[in-house]
Structure 1
Amino acid sequence: MLFKKNFSTLPIKKKVQVLTTKENSTLVDKIKNQLLVRNAVIIAHYYTDPEIQALAEMTGGCVSDSLEMAKFGSCYPATTLLVAGVRFMGETAKILSPEKTVIMPTLKAECSLDLGCPYEAFSSFCDEHPERTVVVYANTSAAVKSRADWVVTSSIAVKLIYYLDSLGKKIIWAPDRNLGRYIKNKTGADILCWHSTCIVHDEFKTQALKNMKKLYPDAAILVHPESPQQVVELADVVGSTSQLINAAKNMLQNTIIVATDRNIFYKMQQLCPDKQLLIAPTAGEGATCHSCASCPWMAMNNLKAIYEVLTKNSQNNNYQIQIDEIVRQKALVPLNRMLSFAASIDRNPKIVR
């Protein structure tokens, strides 16, 4: 099933007032104080602005991918989780930590994959193929997760599909068609893909990347599997956000071209400060540059918004994640399956190919 891209929901880019160093420092101090007052912790995604990632680190919070964000929140003793990311990340945190207050700088921070996989349409699609096991990516709503048999992240997606394929399972994969195609090519599994894309990763251009490689012939190319197949085929390493960060640290090349959100460079540069990091091109033939290697919804998280949400009433529905309890319990089942599977891989990597 194919949903056409609809960019009418993209946030309007507003002129951001640049803070002076003193104003920025004062705001950070106010946020630190509010975190103590609220017994709150900041959980930020790798794709948020570097100043938010730095704030999360300096206040004892977490900077990671979406699953680790939720796991951190469930284990951390704070009673309020401030999720700096997009809505599905806040929902995942709430699914795993129902007793905690989960707030976000704005609930309008969406994800194109989530928007491209509405619950009613997806549920009907699954009903048309009752013989198939439903596997959904973490980048989906709580409602879509509640319809799934498994939830998965890009870091273990290939391993899980290998496992399900070994059991003779036929798969429905949603929502990212690029990641679904990559997994299908890797595993040979019988996969029926939902056809949504990430507006960031789908913008990387093959010919422009080839031209860039000519300029930097010794550079390694790192690609997230949500990118188009032709871009993936040019990669030296294909992997999840955390896997790309580790690859940048461990590889011998000093110049690295990266095809994912540019804000990943904050963490990469920490781990390999002497390496040259270059963003893969989104310009070229067929370019629209709706994202330009930076998620516009992630950009809705900023220091002012974080301070404002921390000073609001905790019951303010404009900032707090709320999930119907029946939906939450249903979504928790496939999430827990994933967590158990990931833990079993850590204990015994030989259980999958």
Structure 2
Amino acid sequence: MSKRVVTLAHYYTQPEIQQMADKVGDSLELSLYAKECGADVIVFAGVRFMAETAKILNPQAEVILPASGSTCSLVTQTDVTALQKWREEHADYVHVSYINSSAEHKALSDWIVTSRNVDDIIASLYAEGKKVAFSPDRNMGAYLNFQYGYDMPLWSAVCEVHDKFNQAALDEAFAAVAGAKYLIAHPESPLPVLQQADYVGSTSGMLNWIKAFDKEPDAVIFVATEDGILYNMGLARPDLNIKQAPIYAGCQCNSCPYMKMNTIDAVKRAQAGEGTRIDYLSAEQMDSARLPIERMLEFSKRYYQ
């Protein structure tokens, strides 16, 4: 009997990679789909932590990462030994970790969150009287502290793609637009950018905001996130003037180098059984990492469905 191969692709991959996938989505959508799709083989066109998450949720499946070097700066900037010490220094806190983290990082966490559900999960923990420590994304944590008056201790790592957006470049871009303009931003962006945004949300949240846009038809909409999502936004609303927010004067180009390692040839090879297999996680590691992920997935099912 032939094996069922399912290909997943994140919104930040190239359009031609998305067209090869059985499912395209953000971290939460792909996590849920990976858990429920019943695949024998999962080809994950994304970055390593996403493929690890798919393996943790589907230990019986073979998970293949097309490009071995497709990591994430939030992972590479986090020393897990130092994180464990930081975790011990905040032993009476609930440790909430962003899904953009390694399997070892997840295993040191109480909850995993995505950019779509982080606000709701942390709010629910505070409503229960808990104290929260947040890792690894400093920008996201700083925004949550600012937006809701939290005082969460924060780990200090950033997404190298989103951290390049800056207020000075945005001010210059806004000044060049005579008519209406809007800014939507991913919460991995720096706080001054997020404070200026008309909407802050996950990749899917921004895409839905674009789909529902019903204001000035000639407005310029700047998007502060990785440039891959502009393809999906353009498909959804070809009538809108959508631009990537600049990272410095004169530049509107901000691609994740790791996502772009997912080439057509690499994905085809992975679909044929070649590539990097996520087979290095021990059963104990996966069990420890699965618990906070399952908490997040259960919360998301109750809250969003």
Residue 211 of structure 2 is matched in structure 1 by 249
181-190 or 197-206: bigger deviation: 181-190
Residue 276 of structure 2 is matched in structure 1 by 319
Matched, 1:172 2:137: no
Match of 2:98 among 137, 142, 145: 137
Question: Could you tell me how far 1:169 is from its partner in structure 2?
Answer: 1.4
Matched, 1:72 2:29: no
36-45 or 258-267: bigger deviation: 36-45
The answer to whether the 8 A contact 1:174-1:180 is kept is: yes
For 1:184 and 1:300, the matched residues in 2 are separated by 34
SS in structure 1 at match of 2:97: strand
Residue 339 of structure 1 is matched in structure 2 by 297
The answer to whether the 8 A contact 2:139-2:191 is kept is: yes
The answer to whether the 8 A contact 1:162-1:189 is kept is: no
For 1:40 and 1:296, the matched residues in 2 are separated by 26
Match of 1:301 among 262, 272, 285: 262
The answer to whether the 8 A contact 1:203-1:292 is kept is: no
CA displacement, residues 56-98 of structure 1 (integer Å, 9 cap, x when unaligned)? 1xxxx11101121122122223311100000000001111111
SS in structure 2 at match of 1:281: coil
The answer to whether the 8 A contact 2:28-2:116 is kept is: no
SS in structure 1 at match of 2:277: coil
SS in structure 2 at match of 1:193: coil
Question: Could you tell me how far 1:144 is from its partner in structure 2?
Answer: 0.7
SS in structure 2 at match of 1:102: strand
Structure-1-length-normalised TM-score: 0.81
Match of 1:236 among 180, 198, 204: 198
Structure-2-length-normalised TM-score: 0.93
For 2:297 and 2:45, the matched residues in 1 are separated by 22
The answer to whether the 8 A contact 2:93-2:132 is kept is: yes
Residue 243 of structure 2 is matched in structure 1 by 278
The answer to whether the 8 A contact 1:170-1:189 is kept is: no
SS in structure 1 at match of 2:20: helix
The answer to whether the 8 A contact 1:133-1:169 is kept is: yes
Equivalent residue letter for 1:229? L
Q: CA RMSD in A?
A: 1.9
For 2:77 and 2:253, the matched residues in 1 are separated by 19
For 1:307 and 1:66, the matched residues in 2 are separated by 22
Question: Could you tell me how far 1:165 is from its partner in structure 2?
Answer: 1.2
Question: Could you tell me how far 1:151 is from its partner in structure 2?
Answer: 0.3
Matched, 1:42 2:7: yes
SS in structure 2 at match of 1:249: helix
Residue 23 of structure 2 is matched in structure 1 by 62
Equivalent residue letter for 2:94? T
Question: Could you tell me how far 1:310 is from its partner in structure 2?
Answer: 2.9
Aligned pairs for 1:159-198 within 5 A = 159-198=120-159
Residue 110 of structure 1 is matched in structure 2 by 71
For 1:343 and 1:41, the matched residues in 2 are separated by 22
**Which of the two has higher C-alpha Rg?**
1
Equivalent residue letter for 2:261? M
For 1:243 and 1:95, the matched residues in 2 are separated by 25
Question: Could you tell me how far 1:311 is from its partner in structure 2?
Answer: 3.1
For 1:319 and 1:281, the matched residues in 2 are separated by 34
For 2:86 and 2:257, the matched residues in 1 are separated by 29
Residue 259 of structure 1 is matched in structure 2 by 224
Question: Could you tell me how far 1:128 is from its partner in structure 2?
Answer: 1.4
Equivalent residue letter for 1:326? E
Q: 1:341 to 1:55 in 2, by over 3 A?
A: same
Q: 1:38 to 1:107 in 2, by over 3 A?
A: farther
